[in-house]
Amino acid sequence: MRIRLCMGMGLACFVFMATAGRSEASIVTYSDRAAFQAHAVGLSTIDFQGLATPSTAFINYGQGASLSTGGVTFTANGSSDLFANGADTYQAQYGSPFNLGEGDFLQAGNGSPAGLSIALPGGVTALGFLLETFDSPTSGVTITLSTGDVVTIAAPAGGVTFFGFTSTVAVTALSAEITAGDRMDTLSIDTVQYGAAVPEPAGLALLASGVLPIACLVLRGRRALRPVA
């Protein structure tokens, strides 16, 4: 009776797993960094510290240039220059406190619309970063993932905006580009974190459904090996 029950449960689990495997990938977005971090594990951080020295300096890598660090490659779109700015660059150069507030940061500038492409290492299902523009209050930044998901968020000057996501499938790249506002030539990012999404309850149920048939087979084998009294 127990063997028959296990076989029935195993068949049901197989059907469940096949159905779950056909479900489409989905993402969850976050505007709060703490909430994002609570749903991600194994996070690596790129903070761009030490690229521009001293803190009042900046480096212009050039139009459409790329920078690779921490296993991630950042590329300015064709109309933008790629900069690494020190924490106090804008204060020293222009008397403006335009800083992301966490030290050195990366920036696409001098081109409109400013944009960055980010190429990721394999297996990334969670990513978050800080961003800011020069435009206020109507700035809009459109973020496009390699999965085809597209999200538009507000990122006005005078404040730091957080964007993060978790995905049910790996994301290999994304782009961020200013798509709204009257000042579209400056997009800055900082404190990029990437890793893996914490499995959702549905994913844990899927894992359990795969383990149960195996456990039943082990139980069946043990019963078959019992000596006859």
Q: pLDDT tens digit string along 164-212?
A: 999 999 999 999 999 999 999 999 999 999 999 998 765 444 444 554 4
pLDDT in tens, 187-199: 999 999 999 999 8
Domain boundaries, the chain: 2-18+202-222, 22-199
DSSP conformation class of 42: E
| Domain 22-199 classification at class level | mainly beta
pLDDT score recorded for residue 100: 75
SS3 46: strand
Q: Residue 91 corresponds to which tokens in the numbers above?
A: 């204060």
At 104 the pLDDT is 94
Give pLDDT, residue 93. 87
The residue among 165, 223, 186, 155 whose CA lies nearest residue 79 is: 186
Confidence of residue 91 (pLDDT cuts 50, 70, 90): confident
Assign residue 181 a region (left: φ > 0; alpha: ψ between -120 and 50; beta: otherwise).
left
pTM here is: 0.79
Whole-number Cα distances in Å, 183 to 133, 175, 177: 8, 19, 12
Q: 226: pLDDT confidence band, cut at 50, 70 and 90?
A: low
What are the tokens at 139? 């700035």
Alpha-carbon span 177 to 188, nearest angstrom:
10
pLDDT at 222 over 90: no
What average pLDDT does this structure show over 199-227?
A: 50
What percent of the chain has a predicted confidence (pLDDT) above 70?
76
pLDDT band for position 124 (cuts 50, 70, 90): very high
Owner of token pair 């797993």:
17
Tell me: pLDDT of 48 over 80: yes
Mean pLDDT for the stretch of residues 36-44 = 98
| Length in residues, the chain | 229
End-to-end Cα separation, the chain, in angstroms: 21
Non-local (6+) Cβ contacts of 22 within 8 A are none
Quick check: 215 pLDDT over 50? no
Give the number of other CB atoms < 10 A from CB of residue 29. 15
